[in-house]
Amino acid sequence: MYQVTFSNQCMGEINKLDKLEQLELIDTLASVSKAQLEQPGGDLGVFHRNHKDYYRLRKGDWRVYFELDDAENILRVVYILHKHTLADFVFRFKLPFSEETMIEQQDNFWSYIESLRNNERK
């Protein structure tokens, strides 16, 4: 069993969930085994980025990205992202990811994009 740590971004996302969702998400992470990490499949995948292995765990509407610190027996959760969001797409497909990308998820950004689309139709 691994110790699980969360980045500030992750804590913010977890705090938005109701208590039952929080417990389910944390329980799923806490139950990840060494065997699963060695042979990812199903809801658990692995990819390489910036000379590191990142794991992606799908849990309901959420995508949890974490790294393994095997020496210290720790899963470091770096991002929790909602499925089908731009940030999830960007991180998964190894595109440059920054805090600006997170801003793009805000409703006013998408309202602006929609207004541009509406102006093109006129």
Domain presence at residue 55: yes
Domain presence at residue 117: no
* Cα(8)–Cα(60) distance, integer angstroms: 21
Q: What is the pLDDT of residue 95?
A: 46
pLDDT digits (tens, 9 = 90+) for 34-84: 889 888 888 888 887 777 888 889 888 888 889 988 778 889 998 888 776
Q: Tokens 């995948």 — which residue? A: 45
* Cα(105)–Cα(98) distance, integer angstroms: 12
How many separate helices (H) and strands (E) can be counted in the chain? Answer: 6, 5
Q: Which two tokens stand for residue 117?
A: 């689309």
Domain presence at residue 122: no
Domain containing residue 8: CATH number: 3.30.2310.20
Domain that holds residue 67: 3-95
